[in-house]
Structure 1
Amino acid sequence: MLNNGYDTWVRDFEAERERRAAIGDPQWERGAALDPALVRSLQRFQVGEDGDGSALIGKADRAGDPVYARAVRLFVAEEQNHARMLALLLAAGGAGTLARHWSDAVFVRLRRLLGLRVELLVLMVAEAVALRYYRAVRDGAPDPLVAEVAGRILADEERHVPFHCRRLREALAPLPAPARRAATLAWQGLLAGAGAVVAVDHGPALRHLGVGRRGFTADVLRSSGPLARAMHAAPAAAPAPVAPAGSAGV
């Protein structure tokens, strides 16, 4: 497969890596006041962020575009950094991490069912939910360290979404229009279910953050339309590495 402009994404990921190194980590030593419900919630998200990404990287390698595969490796590194920061945040609040959680196991199994296209569609469900979740933490957490970490992760996720949408446009483009529409409708259905499950599973934490279960689910649903259209549309002439805050509609 030809390089469809993914060198731009590689440069974006590399520039962000250099920026992170320049600004350094948050000040973990100041500690964090974590509500018990938020601890349990952050622990579950930390498990979801923590992985080596080997399945995704392997599928990206087999797709035949080494530049895209390089960008995927840089994306995985950012996700691993999220897991690292969440673990350090939990430690700053006197809490540990989980070895596993059922919700992460379900997503991993779904992502590994078929090829790169299905992997990315399922991954985009997690990314869309994460956008709303980390925004809720950033805006609703009373502790400044918690808000800072959530803000950093949210900024990364807002860059990740257009990256995956770009690839999914290319992956879905060879399909007939009705098949593309069916794929995105199925994705929206999966996202609706995932949003509802997260709203229930993380309800006490969301309430602590000032977000109701229904409001959270509704926000996730509202985000699905623009994202589905971005995946369904014909591939753009050039990628757009950075998405403005709130561009996903959540």
Structure 2
Amino acid sequence: MFKKGRDRETQGYGDWVRAFEAERERRARRGDPAWERGARLPPSLVRSLQRFQVGEDGDGAELLGKAARAGDAQYTAAAHLFVAEEQNHARLLALLLEAGGARTLESHWSDTVFVRLRRLLGLRLELLVLMVAEAVALRYYRALRDGGADPLLREVAGRILADEERHVPFHCRRLREGFARVPRPARYAVTGGWRLLLAGAAVLVAVDHGAALRRCGVTRSVFVRDIVASSAVMAAVIAGRDVTFAAPAVGTGQHGYPQVA
């Protein structure tokens, strides 16, 4: 996802807005998966998907309110489009569960804790906590896409994963800007603490969803190890190492990831 390069840093979030809009149009042209073919989902995967569906659901009002108060109209527009993609993930997972003969959950304790933590302070903390979920989601949906036995499950997971791979650099960029004026030692302390929080969350998810992960060929230890390893470059980006941002390539299926020099 992150690689070396010398691309110029994008000024403003106009390119991100256009990229989100282009993806929305591409998604509309593509249409939904063929739900009518149904899905064969073992109980462990049903329970796991139900909990992730709850986490994807929500109106994003808290995040959007903080984005608006930050005073960047382009970023706020991009944040609205990001929230719409997350809501679409919740819709896809709900329809996948329905195709498998299962219902969604009204709530789950893990999502309640996560939401309350995000609402404690301002936009930076909101995004740091959100990035914990995004980093976990990257590995989770990759496991389902690559190791799921059901074709519909793999297709839905692949669609969501493609979105998450764009969301991570989008949030990394905003966090990097948000911490740009914070002294370097403090930035490193924040990102170090974030990595510890992420590691703890990865362990909890691995324990809670271990049976589903094993169904997809991923052990708990591999799941946690991969998430912790991936967090190193994310933390480096947020902390402000020598990074430039290529503009998202609109309409090409390629994404504007941070380029770590």
- TM-score w.r.t. the length of structure 1 is 0.94
SS of the residue aligned with 1:174? coil
Gap regions ≥5 residues in structure 1: none
Per the alignment, residue 248 of structure 2 pairs with 241
Q: Does 1:232 align with 2:239?
A: yes
Per the alignment, residue 57 of structure 1 pairs with 64
AA aligned to 1:29 is: E
For residues 237 and 204 of structure 1, do their structure 2 counterparts lie closer, same or farther at Cα, with a shift above 3 Å needed? closer
Per the alignment, residue 218 of structure 2 pairs with 211
CA distance in 2, matches of 1:99, 1:247: 36
For residues 235 and 114 of structure 1, do their structure 2 counterparts lie closer, same or farther at Cα, with a shift above 3 Å needed? farther
1:86-235 alignment runs, 5 A limit: 86-233=93-240
1:70-81 alignment runs, 5 A limit: 70-81=77-88
How many residues align? The count is: 246
Residues 62-97 of structure 1, C-alpha deviations (whole Å, 9 max, x = no match): 000011000000000000000000000000000000
CA distance in 2, matches of 1:200, 1:36: 16
Identity of aligned residues (%): 68
CA distance in 2, matches of 1:152, 1:209: 17
AA aligned to 2:41 is: L
Q: CA deviation at 1:184?
A: 0.3
Say whether the 8 Å CA contact 2:173–2:258 is kept in structure 1.
no
SS of the residue aligned with 1:51? coil
CA distance in 2, matches of 1:144, 1:43: 18
Gap regions ≥5 residues in structure 2: 1-9
Say whether the 8 Å CA contact 1:173–1:235 is kept in structure 2.
no
Say whether the 8 Å CA contact 1:8–1:239 is kept in structure 2.
no
Q: CA deviation at 1:237?
A: 5.6
CA distance in 1, matches of 2:205, 2:248: 28
Residues 1-60 of structure 1, C-alpha deviations (whole Å, 9 max, x = no match): xx9420000000000000000000000000000011000000000000000000000000
CA distance in 1, matches of 2:61, 2:166: 21
For residues 131 and 23 of structure 1, do their structure 2 counterparts lie closer, same or farther at Cα, with a shift above 3 Å needed? same
Say whether the 8 Å CA contact 2:147–2:216 is kept in structure 1.
yes
Say whether the 8 Å CA contact 2:169–2:258 is kept in structure 1.
no
Root-mean-square deviation over aligned CA pairs? 2.0
CA distance in 2, matches of 1:185, 1:179: 10
Q: CA deviation at 1:143?
A: 0.5
* Aligned pair partner of 2:27 in 17, 20, 42: 20
CA distance in 2, matches of 1:229, 1:46: 30
RCO (CA 8 Å, sep 6+): is it higher in 1 or 2? 2
CA distance in 2, matches of 1:228, 1:142: 34
SS of the residue aligned with 1:113? coil
CA distance in 1, matches of 2:236, 2:258: 13
Per the alignment, residue 47 of structure 1 pairs with 54
Per the alignment, residue 7 of structure 2 pairs with none
